[in-house]
Every structure is written in structure tokens, then in C-alpha cells.
A and B are shown apart, each in its own frame.
Chain A
Amino acid sequence: MQRFLDPAVLAGISSLELLAKTVVDGFVAGLHRSPDFGFSQEFAEYRAYTPGDDLRHVDWNLFARTERAYLKRYRGETNSHLMVLLDASNSMLYTSGSPHAGPPRKMDYARFIAASLFYLAIRKQRDAAGLIVFDDEVRDCVRPSTRLGQLSRLFAALEQAEPHARTDFGKPLRHFQNLLHRRGIVIVISDFYQNPEIIVQAMEPLKFRGNEVVLFHVLDPQEMRPMLKSSAIVVDLETEQKIEVIPEYVKTTYREKADAHVEQLRSRTRAAGMDYQLLLTNQPLDGALREYLSLRQAGN
């Protein structure tokens, strides 16, 4: 089943729903062999009653036998909100592979992740899921819902999400706060080509509002370890700026800068109470799904 999670294989599946089902079913089948995770409404623990607790949660049978009040708690007894913020800037178009081989475009990889998350949330967890597509402003928004057809709407929104312009977290995040009324899980999928400080500052308000914020940093492997045989002219996909670079720089300074950027982003987000996950486009998608489930479990 692992091969169904390979991005290169998934790139050949045109239907996002089928893609998401394939990913999630494969992922869930793998989970059944794991004793650590479960998501049905099952008994979790007993906790001593403290004043202020809801009396509806008191296990009265146990109180009758022991004359002590305990609260009986179940897992998954509450539905979560999953909100995916998908970066649709031009930089997400980059790929080091060809149309028929190699890793998919970062945008496609991001779609795969979002579709899989939506499928997992709605079909398996019965969570409400929504989508905001943004670049330097909000391009599309599907409000979180558990209604019938929500998954189709989300997939359609993902299909229509074509990259434009450049990334700007500041401007669209003001709209995020208006759109996110309930607490939930906010997953930001982007390549985060911006100062980590600015990114964290933009995301912190979401955290302050009680959301679990996860940053899925999608990068092509070549962006981390680029190979250049000779000097070349490179052009920025967002700004179309061209500069000449030399292999020596790419081999040394670039990698140092990229590593420093990832590390800085990782440390800053964690310092701000957010989770960070680096996803390379040649890696399977289960890392992202596992991160979601662990957050959801932690949220319970």
C-alpha cells in the first residue's frame, strides 16, 4: 500500500477523490496495525470530578458502587474543524521533474495533501473541513462544513486553484481571522518563501484564537539540494527576476541558506506553539496525514 502514497504514482491519478481515497484507505489500513491510534467513540479515561465539570459526564454507575464521582471521557466524541490554507502563488508551480517522471509540482503535491486531509476528515472523522486558497490575497474560500457534498466542493475548489501572483501572508491572513470563527485545526500548505519572522507573525493570531496551526512546508528536493553543472541564469517564477548563478554558490551558500531557513522556520513556529512539517515532493503523503491525526488526538 505504501506505493499508493508515492507522489509520483499519485500524479497519474486525475480524480482528486479517487486520489484521496487511495491515499487515506492505504493510510488507514496501515494504522490498523498500530496500537497507538484509534478514532472511534471509545472509552478513554476516568477523571475525578471537580467543581464546574458538566454533571452529564459523571459515571453514575460507578458513583453508585463507589460513592465517588468520576467523569467518564470518550475519544472522538467531539467534531473538529479542519481548515486548510493553500498557497497558490506562482512559486508553487516549480518542479524539478518532467511531466511524466520525477516529483510532481509543488502545487499538485499540495493538492494531494489537501484532498487526502479532506477525505480523511470528512469521511473518516466526520469533521468539518474548509479551504482557503490564497496568494497575495484570498482567491477562494470554502467554509468548513460537514454537509453532504462538502467534499465535492472542496475537491472542486482544489481543482480550480491555479497559482497566480506571489505569496503574501499578511494580507490574506486578515481575512482568515474573519473566516475562522470556531476553533479547529488550521493547516497552512505553502513553500514559505518569506521571512520566517513574518510568517510566524502572520500565523500567531490564528493560534491566539485557539486553533491548532500546522505549517506544511512543501518543497521540491531540488530546492533543498540543487545541482548545477555550470553557471546558469535563473528566473524567479513569481517576480520573473533573472540573475546569473554559479555552481559553487549553489553547492555551498545556497544550501546553507536553505537549511537555515527551514531550521529557523521550524524553531520559530514551535516557539509560537505551532507545528511545522517539511514535506518534500518526492516523499509519501502519510507524513502529513499522520501529523493531522496526531494533532486531532492531542486536541481531544
Chain B
Amino acid sequence: MGFLSPWFFGGLAALGVPVFVHLLRRHVSVPMPVASLMFFAHGTQSSTRHRKLRNRWLFVLRVALILLLVLAFANPFVGRSTVDENGRLLLILLDNSFSMRAGSRFREAKREALTLLAAKPHAQRAQVMELGDRLEVLTQPIADDAQLRSALESIQPGDSHANFAELGRAIRASAETQRGPIDLNLFSDMQRTSMPANFADMILPGDATLVLHSVATGVTPPNWTVESVEAPTQLADPKDPQRSRVHAVVAGFGTPAAAKNISLVIQGKVVAMKKVDVPANGRATVDFAPLNVEYGFNRCEVRIDGDDAFPADDASTFVVRRSDPERVLFVHAAGDARSPLYFGAALSAGAQGSYILQSVAAEQTTNLDPARFTFVVLSNTSTLPPIFEHTMEQYAAKGGNVLIALGTDVFRHGKIPLWGGNVTDIHNYAGANAATVASVDFTYPALAQAAPGRANGGWAETKVFYAAAVVPGAARVAARLSDGTPFLLDRQLGEGHLLLLTSGLENLTNDLPLHPVFVTFIDHLARFLSGSERLSGSTQVDSFVQLRGSAEPVGEVSSVEVIDPDGHRPLSLSEARSVQSFQLRRAGFYQIRFANGRDAVIGVNPDRRESDLAPISEDVQKLWSGNSGREGQPVPAAPAKYRPVNLWWYVMLLALAAALAEMLLASGYMGTQREEV
């Protein structure tokens, strides 16, 4: 309790008034007449008796009235804790990343979080979040303990990779909208691999206090895991010695040298087992060949036999789809014999796919049905038979992919089939001014290279002599020439893709077919256009799968279907008709039916960084929590903030009550007051 205006306490001097009225004033009484003093004698009141207060209740009320008035003007207040309004927000973050499945980490973290929640003052607001690859908010800032507890108990261990950078970003964003300080309690195994490359990404806002509750105590347990698996997503010939093989890397984190049995499991059956010596805290590779799989989708798994501290990461799943070689339609100009030659050679040299190229002149395409081909290449064709062009448009709208390579014929006529636009200009780089492919988007699937390396992944060594200038419009430019001219464009048409190469494939308008990057480019391009890599293989948890080509489908709307590893359908019916992409959040095999009607089975594996259970060093943890340099000291409690609640009205109400009581009592006294002799 405080007094905002203590000077008003000077008003307490007014307390002397009732004292004077009730005590002193009694002495100055009016002399009472008597008939005679004959029987009277002089007497003096004793001091004690003399000063005895009269009308005590009235005196008490009057004193109380003055006291309350003085208190009211002194403006007292009580300091009410502001935790219930704009006070500290208790933020409980529970890490449910894949590594929390190790041992009893998740159970302990959850128990500690529940304990903290139970100890929370009832009025304090709290918010529960779970930390995976992103920060998921489970409750709003509320004080309802039951709801908070329910939200906390609903958190289950996931398969995502924790990302402290995402945590820092989300808290910083939250602090901009959330007024007041934040007490952030993170219950995690504090995995080192969850740290971003830049520590600054983890930094929390100034008014956030981070308290780390690490459940990874003691020595980091040794853990072996299947770090990576290279296997064909599509296999046409199991006896192909180059392609029918599985290459797995087994890694140990904090492990001694050990011999581990590695098994290859296809459709639930162990088909091969090999023993490898894994060096201490190192890696070992193991190959399984040939890969005898049946037609259709084969759910495969590379597994490390023998338990360790983290059994959940001992297997890596992937899917191999066995099918006959897929046919590719290559439409070229009548006099162009080079482009199908170069393209076919590159296609057959590709490591992943197995395709049969059917090249045909543009004039002979009238009766062809492109739906029988996995994708179509239009090379240097300025004109197509109208029936085939119409068929191609329907083919693309239903999900068919087409590569359009320009060439001298197109340059001459200026018309680009299917694309919806024409050549606006011809760039002639002949001679010493040959352009190069200077800007390449390696994230584009057809140009994907994990490590482009020297000379821009080989693209810088190519020379382009002629290139057509087109207006990109809504198309994505995946590569540009050195003068900025778009070299490779991608445009969505219905469910299908149209890829436009503004130069040719025939070694006349550029020397790309002569460079090794051409093989890689065609290989990736074929896989992208055929969509085979979307139909099988493996991917990481939290990656996205594009279910349909565009949000506004052309023609009849078809539903997509997703069946998760537990056999559930995570998409509702309305979502199945509208959703464009889906995030694979669980480890295991997902069955997917795309909007173009093609089925896929994909093996989803957790991020293998989660297998490294080593926690962040103590110093870094302290640095992060802002407690560096105060080793051994507990995190100081933030000074409690109080909101002054004014008591003026309450005191004045009491004063009013005292005044009323005084009036009633005083009227009673006055009504009976009379001379006392």
C-alpha cells in the first residue's frame, strides 16, 4: 500500500477537533442555576475523571470520519501485480523434434513442463507452443490452467528437425505484437544440430528471458544411423549393374568403432544383409546390388541391426518403382537430324531414368496421341498440325509436360507452338560475342545441382550463338544468358508444364550438346518432365509435395488423395479438391494420388541431423539464455511490476458511511440533550 500524496497527512491535525469537542469543550459548560447554594459545596473533578471522553461512539465516528477523509486525500493505493494483464507472459515451449524420441527425453521434458505450469500463479497468462521445424502455437496467451495443461498434454513427439533459428525468429515476431516481457521456458534436448549457422538468428528480443530446461544430461549416448541412401526411384531393368543398386551411408555419432549389420528390406522382407565396420565417430558405406524388385511400388528400407540409444533412426525408407522404360516423343523439324541425336544420346546416358525416345517429324504427328508418352519435346518446330497442337494443349492441361526448344526454323517464322507467345527478337551472338549461360537457378528441378562447382556447374563454358527473345510474362525464368536474355523458362499450363529453351538442341545455335553439363541437364530435365521423381523415392520430413499444378485447375476438377504412414487421410474432402501442396510431417511411407491421376508412394525420413544427439555446449547455452558470466547463479527473477490500484473511492465510501452513522448518532444525542441538573 502506498500514499501518492503523503503531504495530505497534515490533515490529521484536524483530529484535534473532535478531541476538543468531546473532551475539552466539556469543561466550558454553561453554569446551571439552582435555587440556593445552601446545600452545595465546592468540589473538583479528579483529572482522570475530568478528562474522560463523553459520547464515545460519536467521538469515535468523528475521528474515523476525519481519518478517512485524510486518507482519501492522501490518495492511497495498493500495488496489484500486473501479471494478470500486461505482466510477464509465461511461454512454454516443448521441443517435439525427432531427437526427442531418444530414450525418455520427451517424457521428461513434458513432465517438467507440466510441473512448471502447475507452479504458475493462477492469474499469470501463459502460452504453450511446440517446437519442430517451425514454432507451432497451441494456445493464445491465457490464464486458464486447464486449457494450458490440455494443450501441453496433447503434444506428441514428432519427426521434424528442430530449428532454433525458427524459434528466435518466431519469438522476435511475437514480441512485436505481444506487449510486456516474456518468460520463455524451453524444454528441449538442446541438440547442437538445431543451431543455425549464424548465432544471431537465435537471439531473442530484449524483453524475453530465456530459461533452458535441458533434458540431455550426462554423456551423449552413442548412436548409429543410416545417414543417406542412394537408390533409383524408378527401375526398368533390375539387372542393370549401373542402376540396380542401393548405396547407403552408415554414420556413427559419438560412437566407438564397431561392426554393424546392415539389412536391405524390400516389402517387409530382408533381402540382403551386409556387415560393415563403422569407424569410431565415422561413416561407412554399404552397397546392395542388384536390386530385385517387383513391378510397381516397392517399399524398401535400409536398416541397422542391433539397438542403440536411438532406435528410431536406425532405418531409412525409400521407394523404388519398377516399370518398363518410358517413352518420350521427340518432335523435330523435317530437316533437323541433330537435335534428336544429341537429345537421345544424353537421355540414354542419364544415370537415373530409362526412356525410349521416339523422334518424329512435325508433319507426321497428326495421328499421334501424346498421352502415351511420358513427356514431349518440340524441337525447332515452328508449325504443328492443328490436330496435334490441339491434342498437345489438352495433354498439357491434364498434366503432360512439354519441352519446347527453339531453333533456326522458329527464328525464321517467329512463331512458338503451344507457348502462347511469339519471338519478339533474335539475339545473334555469332563470332567472338558468343553469350554464355550466366545465371542458373540451381533450385529449379531440371537444373538442380547439389554443388554446382567450377564454372557455374559447367554452364559458364557453354556458348550460345543465337537466342530468341520472348516475353516471360508469368513464366519462371530458370536460366539467363550473360546479357540477361531468358534461356530457360517454365510456364504452367493446367496441370502440366511448358519448358521453353530459347535456343536449340542441334549444336547450331549453341554448343550446349557438346558439353558434359548437357547430359546432366537432360537427365534432370527428363526426370522432371516425366515426373518420375515425384512418384517414388524418398524425401525428408517436412518437405512439401505439390499435389496439383495450379490453384485454379483447368477443366474438370479432380481430387487428390494422401494416405499417411498410419493409414489415415489427413486431407478433408474440400481440401482434397483445392489443396495445392502437402507437407509430409511424418516419417514412413505416404501414398499420394496427384491431381493428374498419377499415383505415388514416397518414403519419408527424418532429417538425419536429428541423429546427432550431442547437445549445445554449456557456454553456448548460457550465452543464449543471456546468463553468460554468472555461472552457478540462478536466473534472477525479474522484478515484479505492480499496477497501482487507487483506493480513493473505497476510502471515500467508508468516510460517507462514517458520516451517515455520525449524523444518526449525533441526532440521537442532540434529541436527548438537556440540562443535567
Contact = CB atoms under 8 A, between A and B. Distances in A.
Nearest to B50: A231
A96 B50 CA distance: 25
B119 interface: no
Contact of A237 (B33, B43, B50): B33
A250 B674 CA distance: 18
A254 B39 CA distance: 6
Contacts of B677: 96, 222, 226-228, 232, 234, 250
A236 B38 CA distance: 9
A245 B676 CA distance: 12
B34 A237 contact: yes
Interface in B7-47: 26, 29, 31-45
B54 interface: yes
A236 B54 contact: no
**Looking at B33, B36, B38, B40, which has the most chain A CB atoms within 10 Å of its CB?**
B36
Contacts of B676: 227-230, 232
A235 B39 contact: no
B32 A234 contact: yes
B39 A234 contact: no
A248 B43 contact: yes
A235 B26 CA distance: 17
A234 B32 CA distance: 5
Contact of A94 (B34, B38, B41, B42): B34
Contacts of A96: 677
Contact of A234 (B31, B44, B45, B50): B31
Interface residues of B, number: 23
B36 A236 contact: yes
A243 B50 contact: no
State the majority secondary structure of interface residues on B: loop
**Looking at B40, B41, B42, B44, which has the most chain A CB atoms within 10 Å of its CB?**
B40
Nearest to B676: A229
State the majority secondary structure of interface residues on A: mixed
Contacts of B37: 234, 236, 239, 241, 243
A157 to B, nearest CB: 23
A93 B34 CA distance: 9
Contact of A232 (B29, B38, B39): B29
B54 A234 contact: no
Contacts of B42: 243-245
Nearest to A236: B37
Contact of B41 (A106, A223, A249): A249
A235 B30 CA distance: 10
Contact of B43 (A242, A245, A257): A245
Contacts of A148: none
Nearest to A226: B677
Contacts of B33: 94, 234-237
A189 B676 CA distance: 27
A232 B40 contact: no
Contacts of A235: 31-34
A17 interface: no
Nearest to B30: A233
Interface string A174-214: 00000000000000000101100000000000000000000
A220 B35 contact: yes
A193 B45 contact: no
List the 4 shortest-distance A-B pairs measured between CB atoms, nearest first.
A246-B43, A193-B36, A91-B35, A94-B35
9 contacts: A94-B33, A94-B35, A98-B674, A106-B35, A191-B35, A223-B34, A232-B29, A234-B33, A235-B32
Given A223-B35, A232-B676, A235-B31, 9 more contacts: A220-B35, A222-B677, A227-B677, A230-B26, A232-B29, A244-B44, A246-B45, A254-B39, A257-B38
